[in-house]
Structures are given as structure tokens and as C-alpha cells.
Amino acid sequence: PVEGKLPTNAWTPQQKIVDAYAIKLDDHAPPGAYKIEIGLYDANGTRLPVFDANGNALGDALIVGTVEVR
């Protein structure tokens, strides 16, 4: 994260990390709403689980928004 300047092992609880990415869409992507999904991986490439504030498992990804292709 943050162009390699803030590895996850340096994060603290409740810390907010801002990490911007450009998402290139195929010029021929069909119109519609597309989900933006994020996830984290451990050093071995295994996807890490996501939990809500109460500790309930939500899977291994988080939907953070959508983008509309017209």
C-alpha cells in the first residue's frame, strides 16, 4: 500500500489508509454497473478473510463501490 511505503505490518488498529489506483477499462466493455471489489493477500499469496466490526466473517473481499460504463 501507498506505493510500497506503508506495508500492512506497519498499520495500527483503526488507522485509515488512503491508496489511490487508476482502473483502466477495456474500450469495448459492455455498458452497465461494475462492482469495485478489494481484498488483501498474505505474503504467500493467500487471500485474507474480511470481518465486520462485530467479528462476523464477510468472505475474502469487500465491495467498495461501483462504476457505471455507458
Query: Is the full-model pTM beyond 0.85?
Result: no
Domain interval for residue 48: 25-69
* 62-65 contact pairs (CB < 8 A, 24+): 62/37, 62/38, 63/35, 63/36, 63/37, 64/36, 64/37, 64/38, 65/35, 65/36
Grid cell in block for residue 59: 468472505
In a domain, 42, yes or no: yes
**Between residues 33 and 8, the one the model is more confident about:** 33
In a domain, 1, yes or no: no
Number of domains in the chain: 1
In a domain, 12, yes or no: no
- 3-class secondary structure, 50: strand
pLDDT in tens, 28-55: 999 999 999 999 988 899 999 999 999 9
In a domain, 43, yes or no: yes
Sequence-distant (≥ 6) Cβ neighbours of residue 59 within 8 angstroms: 49, 50
